[in-house]
Structure 1
Amino acid sequence: MPLRRLELVLADRASQCSGSALLVPLLACTDIDLAQELQRHLESFHHRAELRDWLTRRLDHHRADLLLRLLDDDDRQRQLTEFSVPLADANQDWRTLGLPTLDNEARHRQQFEAWLQRNQPTLVSRVRDEHAGVYRSGRPWPGRASPNVCPTSLSHARGHGVAFAD
């Protein structure tokens, strides 16, 4: 194995042991410059204690402890909630650092389906009330839409003012 490859493997192992690689995205939500500094020195931390020392020299003790505690939580959404950072802002910071971003389409779909289920009686009543005259008159429905059709795509929902929390 070439020496440089071995050094990279050891650096990766060190960052996994200390958690420094996991800390970069979290830190980016708090201080992007500090996250960039950490990103440049990932391999220099071999243990969590070294990372804690580095972090507490740069941040207040409470913030450093919170960041280190969140390293053990693999739910990015919960981590962002802890810092009150919107997903869009976090994604922008992560793009700046060349890190992968999060896509919450599945969560948005779930939220929309829950909204649709909660509001179905109201929506049905509104459609019925709007078209009751057409129905009673026996005239055909305008256009080709059936009264049972309900939009389920996220893009359609967003285009009609349905807001989702990231």
Structure 2
Amino acid sequence: MGKLEAVLSDRSSVRSGSARLVPLLACVDAAHAEELQHRQETFHDRAQLTRPLMRLMDDDGWQRRLTTLGVELAEANRAWRSIGLAPVHNGAAHARQFAHWLQLNRARLVDHVRDAFISAYRAGSVLEAYVRLRELPELENAPEWLDI
């Protein structure tokens, strides 16, 4: 029984390794990634993989993996989508970067809003829209930017 568990555990490890390899390989060669994806059940020997790819598979950081491969996140996500895998995004980091950018550029952006309303101010018009817009209410990070 112990030997059977060891064999099953090893096969599970191999399948897990190949499942982790598929997204990496898709960045470089989508056709081979798709082939590996279909052959996972018959993939028996981790030694069949090259050592550099094995090291990449064992790294849990997608950014480090992609950097090592020289692949941009947008390119990786396109490749992953092409073989039916979900894209990878770091939404929390992206939100922090956008908040930082907004903090650095807030004064300049508010100046642009103010400039747009200067003629309304001089004409004595109601400035309700200006009061709302100077808070930059519609500025938020866009979901399509997550691939950038």
Following superposition, the deviation at residue 69 of structure 1 comes to 2.1
Segments of structure 2 that go 5 or more residues without pairing to the other structure are 1-6
Following superposition, the deviation at residue 118 of structure 1 comes to 0.9
Match of 2:23 in 1: 25
Per-residue deviation, residues 22-77 of structure 1 (Å, max 9, x unmatched): 11110111112222232233342344x3323xxxxxxxxxxx62x32221221223
Following superposition, the deviation at residue 122 of structure 1 comes to 1.3
Determine if the alignment matches structure 1 residue 152 to structure 2 residue 139.
Answer: yes
> Any conservation in 2 of the 1:28–1:35 contact (CA below 8 Å)?
yes
The alignment's TM-score, normalised by the length of structure 2, stands at 0.69
**Per the alignment, do residues 81 and 14 of structure 1 end up closer, same or farther by CA in structure 2, a change over 3 Å counting?**
closer
3-state SS, counterpart of residue 58 of structure 2: coil
Name the CA distance, whole Å, in 1 between partners of 2:56 and 2:81. 21
Name the CA distance, whole Å, in 2 between partners of 1:93 and 1:164. 15
Matched length: 140
Following superposition, the deviation at residue 127 of structure 1 comes to 2.6
Name the CA distance, whole Å, in 2 between partners of 1:84 and 1:50. 23
Name the CA distance, whole Å, in 2 between partners of 1:129 and 1:35. 53
> Any conservation in 2 of the 1:24–1:35 contact (CA below 8 Å)?
yes
Work out which of the residue numbers 70, 76, 99 in structure 1 matches 2:56: 70
Which has the larger share of helix? 2
Match of 1:3 in 2: none
3-state SS, counterpart of residue 135 of structure 2: coil
Segments of structure 1 that go 5 or more residues without pairing to the other structure are 1-6, 53-63
Match of 1:85 in 2: 71
The residue type equivalent to 2:26 in the other structure is: A
> Any conservation in 1 of the 2:34–2:83 contact (CA below 8 Å)?
yes
> Where does 1:27-46 land on structure 2 (aligned, <5 Å)?
27-43=25-41, 44-46=43-45
- Identity across matched positions, percent: 39
3-state SS, counterpart of residue 33 of structure 1: helix
> Any conservation in 2 of the 1:36–1:97 contact (CA below 8 Å)?
yes
Name the CA distance, whole Å, in 2 between partners of 1:152 and 1:73. 35
Work out which of the residue numbers 44, 48, 51 in structure 2 matches 1:50: 48
The alignment's TM-score, normalised by the length of structure 1, stands at 0.63
The residue type equivalent to 1:26 in the other structure is: L
